[in-house]
Every structure is written in C-alpha cells, then in structure tokens.
C-alpha cells in the first residue's frame, strides 16, 4: 500500500511539474535529470548489487541512442525503435560481460574502459552512419501518430522513468536482487548454494546495459539532434560518480547521485581543463570518506544500515514454530561418496596427495590433521572449488570430478567456510533465503512484477528460513545485518544457509573456529541435530572434543596424505596419528583440542 502511495504521489508530482514551473528551460532540465537518473539506476544494479564495475556505460548509452535514432531515420516507429535500441544494448551488454567474465576488479574495469573507448571512436569516426561530430538530425518523436512536443516528451520520459524505477525496485526486493547482492558479497558462497555466478553476472550486465540504453535513447530525441561528443569517457565516470557518491546498492542513492552529477558539470565548467581530475578526486574522496555513499553515510548516522525489505510479518508469525521441523531429509537416500586417489597440485606442490575416501549412508565423518595437511583443499575439491589434478570423485554413482560449485550444490553437496563467507550486507534471514536458490520456482518475470505467486513463494521461504534459523538457535537475530554478528553466530548462520540448499552431504570446514566456549557447545549440539535429521556430514575440526564426540568415523591427513582412518577410539590410539601431531608443533591440537 505504502509503495503504491509513493508511486502515485511521484506520478502526480512529475505530471504537474510543467504546470508548477512553466518554463521550457526547466522542463528541458527535468528531462535531462530523468534520463540520467535512469542510467544511474541501471548502473547501481550492476555496481551496487552485483559488485561488478563498469567504466564504459557511456558506450551502452551511445548504442541506445544511435540504434533508436537510426531506426527512426529508417522509418521504424519511435516506440519500436526504442525497443530495438534496448535489445541491442542488452545483447552488447551480455557480450561485454562474457568477454570480461574471467576478469575481476581492475581487469574488468579495463575491459569496460576499452569498450567505452571503442564505441566512442566508432561514433566519432563512422561518419556515414553516426554523423560523427556533425551529428544526426532527427524528427520529433511521435507516439501512435501523435507528435510529442517538449512537455509531452517530458511526460513520456517521466512515465518511462517511473516504470523503470518501480521495476528495478521490485528486482531489489526479490530473490533476483538478493542473488545479485549475494554474488557481489561473496561469489564463492553464492556458488556453493547453487548460483551459476557466470550466468548471473551476464544477466546483471545485460540488464544494466539495457537500462543505460533507454537513457541514451531518451537523450537522443530531446533536442531532435545529437552528436558523438556526448559519449565520452568522462560521461562514464559521471555515471559512476552518481552511483558511488549517492550510495551504491541503496535504493535512494541514485536520486541523490543524479542530482550531484547533474550539477557537477556546471560547477566545473570554468575549470574544464581539470574536470577529469576533479571527477577522479570526488570518486576517491567518496570511496574513502563515505564508502556507502551519501545515503549509506546518512543511514549510519541515523543508526541503521541499508537493508532490503523482507516479509517482516512472517518473522513474527513463525518465530514460535518448533525448530525440529526440518524433515525433508527424512526420505534419506543411500548417499554414496566415492573419492578415488585424488591429487591436488599447486605449482608442483601436492596439497592433497592420493587420497581416497568412501562414505556410505548418513554418517558424520571427521577430517582431521595438523595445519596445512590439506583439509581445506580436500573440502574445496569435494565442493567443486578446485578440480583435482588427478583422481576421480563419484557421488551417488555419478562422476562429479569436474563439477563447478553450483553443480555440486545442485546434486546435493554444499559446505560452510573456514574463513567465513556470509553475505555481510544482508540480513541473517536474507542470507538463508539465498540458500534456497535452487528451490525457487518463480521466474524472472514473476520477480520483476511481484506477482501473487512471487509473494506466496517469498512468504513460504521466509518462514522456512526462519525454521532453519530456529534449528541453529539464531531465529531472534533474523533481522540483524550479518556482518554485525559474532564469529560463532556467523558460523551458525552459515550452517542454516547451507541447510537451505537441502543437501545430502554437508561439509563443515572448522565450524567452531573462533567461536566462544558457549558457542562451541551450541555448534556441537547443532551438528548432532543435523546428524539426527539424516544429513551426511564431513566435519573438519580442530576441537578434538567435538570430533571425538560426534564423529562416526575419522580420516586423518598429514602432508596431504591419508595416514589413518577408523572409529574415534581407534584414531586416538593410532601410533601414526599421535606421531603426526607430536612430530610437529601441533601437540596441543590433539591433546588439548585448542
Ligand atoms: P588445512 O586446511 O589442512 O590447514 P589447506 O588445505 O588449507 O590445509 O592447505 C594445504 C597446503 O596447500 C598448505 O601448504 C597450503 O599452503 C597449500 N595451498 C592451499 N591452497 C593453495 C593454493 N590455492 N595455492 C597454493 N597453495 C595452496
Ligand atoms: Mg583449513
């Protein structure tokens, strides 16, 4: 209700603007503001949510402008031209994303700079088509035979802006937005709950490019003329300033960011020779002093962090429900993990050396060994983070040796991390809800339009996430921002998130590391309960009292080699194990369990 009220109010305000301020100069300004805002909103989706950087968005802005303009010059109706322009941008966006997929951080930035420059050069030099610096003259746009004057065109832009703002806001508050944000927070964690990070990156890039293209197309028809001077590198920087200074990943940030980049060029006009320097300084200053932008900084002052809205009522409704309701694994299958002679080499160094491992049915398997003995590497092999140099991994009879993490999740293997990998910006509940990634049934459009099915599913999974949180004893922290939790609490939330995948095999990499004594007890209890639910568990742990108490079998690694395997009492007295621990500096590990 409140949402619709806000949209209605905005719509009335935008509609009335030309009457409130009846000056074509200001209506013109408003047009510029709105289409710039559209671009910033799209870039915010990319930079703020999915954590990818683009320093070439002026390129998409240009493609939107030229494609739409050239289509209308070829007598294609204006609206259809706009749609073609959008499609061209979405495709180029996907293409650029695929080109840069292997690149991250600075390299991704360089790919996007190159793309922006390439488009700028093409716009400038391919005079026959783009008109180059001399530009293109267009007709006034017309809708269904009706010519749009300055005010009508402003209304048209305002309408498009509202639609895009509303839809992007819907994405922000749906699982699509959560997935983008999760990926931006931790790619590897997103992958281990089943997110195909590659595809989702392409989707984010493509969407963002499409939206930038709309902005460009709307710009092109503003004056019935434009030329190649509008698509320079500093335009891309300006868009980025809008996102970052306003507050990347926030919902209000783009509004404030657009105000700033709208005023900025006018402020620096007299210092034109230094404008790039000034832009750069503003970006740096913002990143250092206000890392979450103006909106985020203001939010912190007010004592609250940016959050996605979730179904709050659900939290209250189901907090009471019993925690032992986690029953999906009851139809327990005979899970069979069969690891045959795996080797993992890093530059010739064998971190895992010819290890074989077999698990039949639900059991808790301890994986222990001194520091650096290859336990985490083994976990990475079993969850698809690394592909073994040699050897084979079979899971329920299937060869999964070269599966990627999201494919491992899809067949029922997931994990928690030794070095915590929660989605820090998100709430505890949202973290767990991302865990259901593989189980959502509504598609992109349902999430974009917030259909009834979408709302039903959100409520269902919020309730289920809450049950999982209750299972690990974290229900009362559901609305807390994950980054604010203690180590032990974060480990418990990671377990709840991993359970949301509904795994058959759950691998816990040092779940008690860094936890307080009280939290260690809690975690031990949770592991016991997990075992009762019927999930197979591989437990990597240094706390020997946990290992000896909850494990059915224990496998011991030393220097990447398996040196022993058996029941806890056998392992405790195994001469080679004692030697491995006594031989190094790890004496206390086995004896005291620190
Ligand atoms: P553990 O978890 O048992 O403490 P790890 O599996 O983390 O041990 O590491 C085993 C060995 O492999 C260590 O010597 C470590 O330095 C090395 N290692 C792990 N990952 C990598 C990597 N990505 N590149 C190079 N060496 C690695
Ligand atoms: Mg480790």
Cα 228-231-233 angle, rounded to 5 deg: 130
Residues having CB within 6 Å of any atom of ligand 1: 346, 351, 369, 371-377
**Are residues 223 and 338 located together in one domain of the fold?**
no
Note residues around ion ligand 2 (Cβ under 5 angstroms): 375-376, 418
Cα of 482 vs its chain's centroid, Å:
15
Residues 165 and 228 in one domain: yes
How far apart are the C-alpha atoms of 466 and 233, rounded to whole Å? 47
Report the candidate in 306, 374, 302 with the shortest Cα–Cα distance to residue 339: 374
- Residue 251 is classified by DSSP as S
CA 91 to ligand 2 centroid distance, Å: 42
Ligand 1 atom showing the smallest separation from residue 347 Cα? 25
In this structure, the answer to whether residues 273 and 234 fall within a common structural domain is yes
Judgement on whether residues 242 and 343 belong to the same structural domain of the protein: no
pLDDT at position 312: 44
Distance CA 182, CA 191 (A): 10
Between the two ends of the chain, the Cα-to-Cα distance in Å is 54
Q: Specify the ligand 1 atom closest to the Cα of 370.
A: 3
In a domain, 22, yes or no: no
Dihedral sign of CA atoms 564, 568, 570, 575 in order: positive
pTM: 0.88
What does the pLDDT look like over 456-468, one tens digit per residue?
A: 999 999 999 999 9
Pocket test of ligand 1: the residue of 342, 343, 344, 346 to mutate, having most ligand atoms within 8 Å of its CB, is 346
Which residues 6+ apart lie within 8 Å of 58 measured at CB?
Answer: 116, 119, 120, 231, 232, 233, 235, 236, 239
Per-residue pLDDT band for 328 (boundaries 50, 70, 90) equals: very low
Query: What are the tens digits of pLDDT across the range 115-158?
Result: 999 999 999 999 888 888 888 898 888 888 888 888 889 999 99
Question: Between these two residues, 305 and 479, which has the higher pLDDT value?
Answer: 479
User: What confidence score (pLDDT) does residue 304 get?
Assistant: 52
Ligand nearest to the CA of 380: 1
Q: Which two tokens stand for residue 46?
A: 């990319």
Q: Which residues contact 563 (CB under 8 A, 6 or more apart)?
A: 369, 556, 557, 576, 577, 580
How would residue 392 be classed by pLDDT, with cut points 50, 70 and 90?
very high
Distance between Cα 216 and ligand 2 center (Å):
50
What confidence score (pLDDT) does residue 131 get? 85
Residue 231 lies in a domain: yes
Sign for the CA dihedral angle at 425, 431, 437, 442 comes to negative
336, burial (CB in 10 Å: exposed 0-12, middle 13-18, buried 19+): middle
Of the two residues 458 and 329, the one the predictor is more confident about is 458
Confidence of residue 19 (pLDDT cuts 50, 70, 90): confident
- Which one of 140-144, 313-317, 431-435 scores highest in mean pLDDT? 431-435
State the burial class of residue 271 (Cβ atoms within 10 Å of its Cβ: 0-12, 13-18, 19+): exposed
Residue nearest atom 21 of ligand 1, based on CA coordinates: 346
pLDDT digits (tens, 9 = 90+) for 510-524: 998 888 888 888 899
Pairing assessment for the beta strands 505-509 and 413-415 based on DSSP bridges: parallel
Q: How many CB atoms lie within 10 A of CB 232?
A: 18
Would 30 be classed as within a structural domain? no
Q: Is residue 1 part of a domain?
A: no
In a domain, 307, yes or no: no
Q: How far is the CA of 374 from the centre of ligand 1 (A)?
A: 6
Least confident stretch, 131-145, 325-339, 527-541: 325-339
- Residues 190 and 269 reside in one and the same domain: yes
Residue nearest to atom 26 of ligand 1 (CA): 346
86: tokens are: 């959008």
Domain with 568 in it: what CATH number? 3.40.50.300
d(CA 46, CA 49) in angstroms, rounded, equals 6
The candidate with the shortest Cα–Cα distance to 293, out of 238, 244, 240, is 244
Q: Which of 266, 301, 336 is the last residue of a domain?
A: 301
Q: Are residues 112 and 260 in the same domain?
A: yes
* 305 burial level (CB within 10 Å; 0-12, 13-18, 19+): middle
Compute how many other C-beta atoms are within 10 angstroms of the C-beta atom of residue 259: 17
At residue 588, the pLDDT reads: 47
Enclosing domain of residue 406 = 324-592
Q: DSSP alpha helices (H): ranges in 49-149?
A: 57-73, 78-99, 105-125, 127-130
Q: Is 538 left (phi over 0), alpha (psi -120 to 50) or beta?
A: beta
Tokens for 145?
A: 């035979």
Q: Are residues 360 and 250 in the same domain?
A: no
Q: pLDDT by residue (tens digit) across 256-287?
A: 999 988 888 777 777 777 777 888 888 888 77
* Count of H-run helices and E-run strands, the chain: 26, 14
CA distance 419 to 291: 23
Is the dihedral angle over the CA atoms 130, 132, 137, 138 positive or is it negative? positive
Gap between the Cα atoms of 132 and 123, Å rounded = 6
Q: What is the β-pairing status of strands 390-395 and 553-558?
A: unpaired
In a domain, 313, yes or no: no
Q: How far is the CA of 351 from the centre of ligand 1 (A)?
A: 6
User: What is the number of the ligand 1 atom nearest to the C-alpha of 375?
Assistant: 3
CATH number of the domain enclosing 173: 1.10.3470
Q: Which ligand is nearest to the CA of 416?
A: 2
Among residues 236, 266, 301, which one ends one of the domains?
301
Report the percent of the chain where pLDDT is more than 70.
Answer: 91
Do 39 and 45 touch, CB atoms closer than 8 A? no
| 205 and 276 part of one domain | yes
* Whether 536 and 572 share a structural domain: yes
State the pLDDT confidence band at 315, using cuts at 50, 70 and 90: very low
d(C-alpha 431, C-alpha 307), whole Å: 12
Distance CA 553, CA 409 (A): 24
Q: How far is the CA of 403 from the centre of ligand 2 (A)?
A: 21
| Distance between Cα 144 and ligand 2 center (Å) | 65
Residue pLDDT, tens place only, 356-385:
999 988 889 999 998 899 999 999 999 999
Q: Is the dihedral of CA 119, 122, 127, 128 positive or negative?
A: negative
- Res. 590: pLDDT tops 90: no
- Residue 538 belongs to what H/E stretch? strand 536-540
Which ligand 1 atom is nearest residue 351's CA? 12
Q: Which residue has the higher pLDDT, 138 or 540?
A: 540
Structure tokens at 342: 């795996």
Residue among 377, 382, 555 whose CB has most ligand 1 atoms within 8 A, to mutate: 377
Query: How far is ligand 2, taken at its centre, from the CA of residue 179, in Å?
Result: 27
Which of 351, 369, 376, 382 for mutating ligand 1's site (highest number of atoms within 8 Å of CB)?
A: 351
Q: pLDDT band at 354, cuts 50/70/90? A: very high
φ, ψ at 540 (rounded to 5°): -95, 120
The residue whose CA is least distant from atom 22 of ligand 1 is: 346
The residue among 39, 20, 111, 524 whose CA lies nearest residue 262 is: 39
Is residue 330 located within the same domain as residue 202? no
Residue appearing with tokens 């224990």: 554
What is the Cα–Cα distance from 145 to 82, expressed in whole angstroms?
A: 16
Q: Which atom of ligand 1 is nearest to the CA of 380?
A: 6
92 in a domain, yes or no?
yes
Predicted local confidence at residue 594, as pLDDT: 39
How confident is residue 301, by pLDDT bands cut at 50, 70 and 90?
A: low
* The pLDDT value given to residue 302: 67
The residues, ordered by sequence, that sit 6+ positions from 76 with a Cβ below 8 Å of its Cβ are 84
Write the residue with the smallest CA distance to atom 19 of ligand 1: 377
Residue 313, CA distances (Å) to 129, 171, 433, 542 in order: 56, 20, 16, 40
Structure confidence at residue 334 (pLDDT): 64
How confident is the prediction for the chain on average, in pLDDT? 87
Same domain, yes or no: 347 and 292: no
pLDDT at 583: 58
Domain tally, the chain: 2
Provide mean pLDDT across the span 412-434. 94
Distance, CA of 165 to CA of 448 (rounded, Å): 11
Q: How far is the CA of 559 from the centre of ligand 1 (A)?
A: 10
Strands 364-368 and 536-540: parallel
Shared domain check, 266 and 131: yes
* pLDDT tens figures, 77-129: 999 999 999 999 999 999 999 988 877 767 888 899 999 999 999 999 998 88
Instruction: Tell me if 358 is assigned to some domain.
Output: yes
Pairing type for strands 553-558 and 364-368 reads: parallel
| Nearest residue to 82 (alpha-carbon basis) of 248, 210, 198 | 210
């Amino acid at each position: 209700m409140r949402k619709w009220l806000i949209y209605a109010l905005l719509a009335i305000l935008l509609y009335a603007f030309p009457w409130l301020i009846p000056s074509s100069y200001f209506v013109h300004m408003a047009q510029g503001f709105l289409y710039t805002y559209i671009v910033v909103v799209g870039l915010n989706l990319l930079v703020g949510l999915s954590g990818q950087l683009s320093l070439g968005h002026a390129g998409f802005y240009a493609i939107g402008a030229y494609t739409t303009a050239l289509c209308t010059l070829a007598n294609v109706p204006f609206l259809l031209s706009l749609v073609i322009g959008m499609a061209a941008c979405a495709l180029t966006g996907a293409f650029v994303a695929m080109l840069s997929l292997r690149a991250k951080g600075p390299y991704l930035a360089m790919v996007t700079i190159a793309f922006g420059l390439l488009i700028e050069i093409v716009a400038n030099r391919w005079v026959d088509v783009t008109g180059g610096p001399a530009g293109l003259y267009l007709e006034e746009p017309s809708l269904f035979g009706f010519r749009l004057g300055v005010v009508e065109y402003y209304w048209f832009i305002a309408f498009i802006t509202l639609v895009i703002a509303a839809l992007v806001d819907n994405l922000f508050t749906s699982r699509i937005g959560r997935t983008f944000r999760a990926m931006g927070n931790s790619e590897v964690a997103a992958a281990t709950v089943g997110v195909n990070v590659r595809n989702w990156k392409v989707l984010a890039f493509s969407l963002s490019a499409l939206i930038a293209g709309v902005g460009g197309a709307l710009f092109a028809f503003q004056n019935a003329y434009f030329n190649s001077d509008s698509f320079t590198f500093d335009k891309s920087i300006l868009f980025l300033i809008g996102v970052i200074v306003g507050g990347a990943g926030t919902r209000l940030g783009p509004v404030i960011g657009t105000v700033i980049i709208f005023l900025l060029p006018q402020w620096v006009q007299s210092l034109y020779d230094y404008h790039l320097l000034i832009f750069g300084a503003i970006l740096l200053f913002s990143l250092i002093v206000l890392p979450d932008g103006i909106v985020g900084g203001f939010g912190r002052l007010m004592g609250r962090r940016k959050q996605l809205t979730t179904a709050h009522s659900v939290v209250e409704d189901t907090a009471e429900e019993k925690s032992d309701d986690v029953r999906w694994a009851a139809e327990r299958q005979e899970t069979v993990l069969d690891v045959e002679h795996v080797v993992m080499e890093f530059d010739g160094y064998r971190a895992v050396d010819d290890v074989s491992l077999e698990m039949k049915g639900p059991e808790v398997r301890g994986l222990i060994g001194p520091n650096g003995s290859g336990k985490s590497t083994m976990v990475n092999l079993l969850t698809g983070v690394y592909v073994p140099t040699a050897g084979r991994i079979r899971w329920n009879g299937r060869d999964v040796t070269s599966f990627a993490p999201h494919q491992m999740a899809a067949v029922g293997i997931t994990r928690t991390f030794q070095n915590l990998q929660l989605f820090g910006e998100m709430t505890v509940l949202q973290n767990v809800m991302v865990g259901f990634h593989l189980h959502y049934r509504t598609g992109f459009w349902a999430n974009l339009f917030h259909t009834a099915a979408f709302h039903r599913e959100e409520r269902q999974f919020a309730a289920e996430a809450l049950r999982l949180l209750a299972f690990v004893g974290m229900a009362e922290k559901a609305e807390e921002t994950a980054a604010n939790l203690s180590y032990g609490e974060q480990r418990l939330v990671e377990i709840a998130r991993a359970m949301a995948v509904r795994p058959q095999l759950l691998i816990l990499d040092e779940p008690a590391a860094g936890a307080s004594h009280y939290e260690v007890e809690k975690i031990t209890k949770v592991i016991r309960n997990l075992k009762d639910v019927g999930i197979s568990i591989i437990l990597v742990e240094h706390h020997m009292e946990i290992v000896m108490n909850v494990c059915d079998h224990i496998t011991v690694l030393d220097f990447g080699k398996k040196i022993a395997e058996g029941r806890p009492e056998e392992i405790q007295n195994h001469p080679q194990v004692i030697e491995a621990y006594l031989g190094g500096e790890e004496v206390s590990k086995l004896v005291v369990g620190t």
